[in-house]
Structure 1
Amino acid sequence: MNIAIYCGSSFGNDKIYEESAKLAAQKLAAQKLNIVYGGSLQGLMGVFSNESLKYGNYVTGVITYDLVSKEIENTNISKIYKVDTMNQRKEKMEELSDAFIALPGGYGTFEEVFDVISSAQIGYHKKPVAFFNVNGYYDKLIEFLRNCINEGFIKKDYVDMIIVSDDIDEIIKKILTYKAPKDKWVK
Structure 2
Amino acid sequence: MKSIAIFCGSKPGLESCFIESAKKTGRYLAEQDKTLVYGGGRSGLMGAVADSALQAGGRVVGVMPKALVGMELAHTGLTEMYIVESMHERKLKMSELAEGFITLPGGAGTLEEIFEQWTWAQLGIHTKPCGFLNVEGFYQPLLDMIEQTVRTGFTQSRFATALCVSDQIENLVTQFESYQIPEPKWGIQDQIVP
**TM-score tier (shorter):** over 0.9
Native 8 Å contact 2:41 2:74 kept in 1 = yes
Task: Tell me the secondary structure at the aligned position of residue 8 of structure 1.
Answer: coil
For the residues of structure 1 that align with 2:111 and 2:139, how far apart are their CA atoms?
11
For the residues of structure 2 that align with 1:169 and 1:85, how far apart are their CA atoms?
32
Count of aligned pairs between the two proteins: 187
Aligned to 2:14: 13
RMSD between aligned alpha carbons? 1.0
Task: Tell me the secondary structure at the aligned position of residue 30 of structure 2.
Answer: helix
Aligned to 1:120: 121
Amino acid at match of 1:131: F
Aligned to 2:144: 143
Amino acid at match of 2:92: E
Identical-residue share of aligned pairs (%): 39
The yes-or-no answer on 1:4 pairing with 2:10 is no
Residue segments in structure 1 that go unaligned for 5+ positions in a row: none
The yes-or-no answer on 1:31 pairing with 2:32 is yes
1:177 is displaced (CA, Å) by 1.1
Under a length normalisation based on structure 1, what TM-score does the superposition of the two structures give?
A: 0.98
For the residues of structure 2 that align with 1:70 and 1:139, how far apart are their CA atoms?
34
For the residues of structure 2 that align with 1:136 and 1:29, how far apart are their CA atoms?
25
Task: Tell me the secondary structure at the aligned position of residue 164 of structure 1.
Answer: strand
Task: Tell me the secondary structure at the aligned position of residue 130 of structure 1.
Answer: strand
Amino acid at match of 2:96: E
For the residues of structure 2 that align with 1:110 and 1:99, how far apart are their CA atoms?
15
Residue segments in structure 2 that go unaligned for 5+ positions in a row: 189-194
Native 8 Å contact 1:41 1:71 kept in 2 = no
For the residues of structure 2 that align with 1:70 and 1:146, how far apart are their CA atoms?
39
Native 8 Å contact 1:5 1:101 kept in 2 = yes
Native 8 Å contact 2:28 2:53 kept in 1 = no
For the residues of structure 2 that align with 1:171 and 1:71, how far apart are their CA atoms?
32
Query: Which residues of 2 match residues 1-187 of structure 1 at below 5 A?
Result: 1-70=2-71, 72-186=73-187
1:123 is displaced (CA, Å) by 0.6
Q: Deviations over 1:102-125 (max 9, x none)?
A: 000011101110000000001111
Task: Tell me the secondary structure at the aligned position of residue 72 of structure 1.
Answer: coil
For the residues of structure 2 that align with 1:116 and 1:71, how far apart are their CA atoms?
27
